[in-house]
Amino acid sequence: MHDVVDLRSDTLTVPTQAMREAMARAEVGDDVWEEDPTVRRLEEMAARRTGKETALFVSSGTQGNLVSVLAQTRPGQEAVLDADSHIFNYEGAGAAVFGGVQTLPVKTQRGFLTPEQVREHIRPNNIHIPMTGLVCLENTHNRHGGTCCTPEQIEAVAAAGHAAGVPVHLDRARIFNAAVALERPVADFARPVDSLTFCLSKGLGAPVGSLVCGSRELITRARRVRKMLGGGMRQVGVLAAAGIVALESMVDRLAEDHVNCRRLAEGVSRLPHVRLDLATVQTNIVIFRIEKDGGAAELVTGCLARKVKIHQTGPATIRCVTHKDVDGDDIERALEAFREITAAW
């Protein structure tokens, strides 16, 4: 039980004692010179876990996605992605600003492009039309409530891109949530794609950092782009050390977050004026609509007064995310707050 129940995001998790100790002890060097042994260890671990040749430590998921887009496209090209994707909605149009890359958003079911949609949206060779430079996927899917797609789905979509000579990037901010939920090794999801980004600073609890994984050739280009973006960090082993602890000890426990999320979602689905499709609750995110004027804002404010923090993502939508700093008692407290606030509705 915590004083404040913070369900706004798993990005709010704080580092564990073991992470803090590893950070204090970390052996470091200048990572721009590729001489930080702790960063190198983390990058090797990430490559091994994802089955890719090598990996690059970056400051955030946003930087990882941007580096991946810029390393695989040229200005004037287009990236095909889901209309609800994080890259399209929450990354400040970085691909356009820094890469001169136009995005082509496609409406999908539960956030996942199908192979047919990829084939349909890859541009024909015509001097009027932008060239397709990249296909981007996201798993688990944030705006669709943490939904997972299977390695087989990724494989089919990637094959459609590759058949047209277009590389495929996977935004795997919550890669381990999908792997734990579907009981599949992370490498199965990573194998079909050319690049992927995953985050240490969400459910895994590290304070900072993401990894871009791919072939040696791609990561060499990505390293150059990262430096250009000001992301060449120096004795950054102090941060990588927490990431190593995250990968070693925080993955299996994600299953607890999924159990808590399901409990929360089931409770929410019984509240009045709530629309929630329980089939979308597959990992640690639940998104629901309040079908009462002003109800979503009322719920947020009422919760805050009860020391429960939830996130309003639209005029009528609420998102809650479970994570290591929220336990079973906290879930009960959040549900109790929801019930009190909605009792008069």
Q: In this complex, which beta carbon is closest to ligand TLP, that of residue 271 or of residue 296? A: 296
> Does 138 engage in binding with ligand TLP (CB under 6 A)?
yes
Q: How far is the CB of 165 from ligand TLP (least distance, A)?
A: 26
> Among 262, 252, 256, which residue's Cα sits nearest to residue 335?
262
Q: How far is the CB of 206 from ligand TLP (least distance, A)?
A: 11
Q: How far is the CB of 181 from ligand TLP (least distance, A)?
A: 15
Cα distances (angstroms) measured from residue 241 to each of 27, 57, 121, 141, 177: 9, 12, 42, 28, 21
Q: In this complex, which beta carbon is closest to ligand TLP, that of residue 61 or of residue 133? A: 61
> Tokens 């930087």 appear where?
63
> Does 142 engage in binding with ligand TLP (CB under 6 A)?
yes
Among 16, 38, 50, 62, binds ligand TLP (CB under 6 A): 62
> Does 324 engage in binding with ligand TLP (CB under 6 A)?
no
> Among 12, 45, 30, 38, which residue's Cα sits nearest to residue 186?
45
Q: In this complex, which beta carbon is closest to ligand TLP, that of residue 82 or of residue 271? A: 82
Burial of 226 (0-12, 13-18, 19+ CB in 10 A): buried
Q: How far is the CB of 127 from ligand TLP (least distance, A)?
A: 34
In angstroms, the CA 291 to CA 117 distance is 32
Q: In this complex, which beta carbon is closest to ligand TLP, that of residue 76 or of residue 315? A: 315
Q: In this complex, which beta carbon is closest to ligand TLP, that of residue 241 or of residue 321? A: 321
Near ligand TLP in 90-119, by CB under 6 A: 90
CB 236 within 8 Å of CB 103: no
Burial of 273 (0-12, 13-18, 19+ CB in 10 A): middle
Among 49, 52, 86, 144, binds ligand TLP (CB under 6 A): 86
Q: In this complex, which beta carbon is closest to ligand TLP, that of residue 208 or of residue 337? A: 208
Which range touches ligand TLP (CB under 6 A), out of 47-55, 57-65, 94-102, 287-295? 57-65
> Does 194 engage in binding with ligand TLP (CB under 6 A)?
no
What is the helix (H) or strand (E) element at residue 286, kind and residue range? Answer: strand 285-290
> Does 6 engage in binding with ligand TLP (CB under 6 A)?
no
**Helical ranges in 92-203 per DSSP H:** 94-99, 115-121, 151-163, 175-182, 186-190
CB 86 within 8 Å of CB 249: no
Q: Is the dihedral of CA 200, 201, 202, 206 positive or negative?
A: positive
Residue 33 DSSP code: G
> Does 171 engage in binding with ligand TLP (CB under 6 A)?
yes
Q: How far is the CB of 264 from ligand TLP (least distance, A)?
A: 16
Among 13, 38, 60, 132, binds ligand TLP (CB under 6 A): 60
Cα distances (angstroms) measured from residue 54 to each of 43, 59, 196, 244: 7, 17, 11, 16
CA-angle at 311, arms to 176 and 107, nearest 5°: 65
Which range touches ligand TLP (CB under 6 A), out of 30-38, 54-62, 273-281, 295-303? 54-62
> Does 282 engage in binding with ligand TLP (CB under 6 A)?
no
Residues that bind ligand TLP (CB under 6 A): 9, 11, 60-62, 86, 90, 138, 142, 171, 173, 199, 201, 210
